[in-house]
Amino acid sequence: MARLSDYIIPAVMGGILFYGLFRRVDVFGSFLDGAKEGLMTSMRIMPALVALMTAVGMFKASGALDILTWVLSPVASLLQLPREVLPLAILRPISGSGAMAIFQDILQSYGPDTTIGRVASVMQGSTETTFYTIAVYYGATQVQKTRHTLPSALTGDLVGFVMSALMVRLIFS
Of 77-116, binders to other proteins (CB under 8 A) are: 91, 93-95, 98, 100-101, 103-104, 107-108, 111-113
Q: What residue type is assigned to position 20 of the chain?
A: G
Q: Select 82 or 98, whichever has its Cβ closest to other proteins.
A: 98
CA separation for the pair 163, 115 (Å, rounded): 14
Please classify residue 158 by burial: count the beta carbons closer than 10 Å to its beta carbon, then call 0-12 exposed, 13-18 middle and 19+ buried: middle
Contact predicate 27/35, CB 8 Å: no
CB of 17 to other proteins, least distance (A): 7
Which of positions 29-48 make contact with other proteins (CB under 8 A)?
Answer: 30-39, 41-43, 45-46
CB of 79 to other proteins, least distance (A): 14
Which of positions 121-140 make contact with other proteins (CB under 8 A)?
Answer: 121-128, 130-131, 133-134, 136-138, 140
CA separation for the pair 109, 104 (Å, rounded): 9
> Which stretch of DSSP H or E encloses residue 97?
helix 96-110
CB of 82 to other proteins, least distance (A): 14
CB of 25 to other proteins, least distance (A): 4
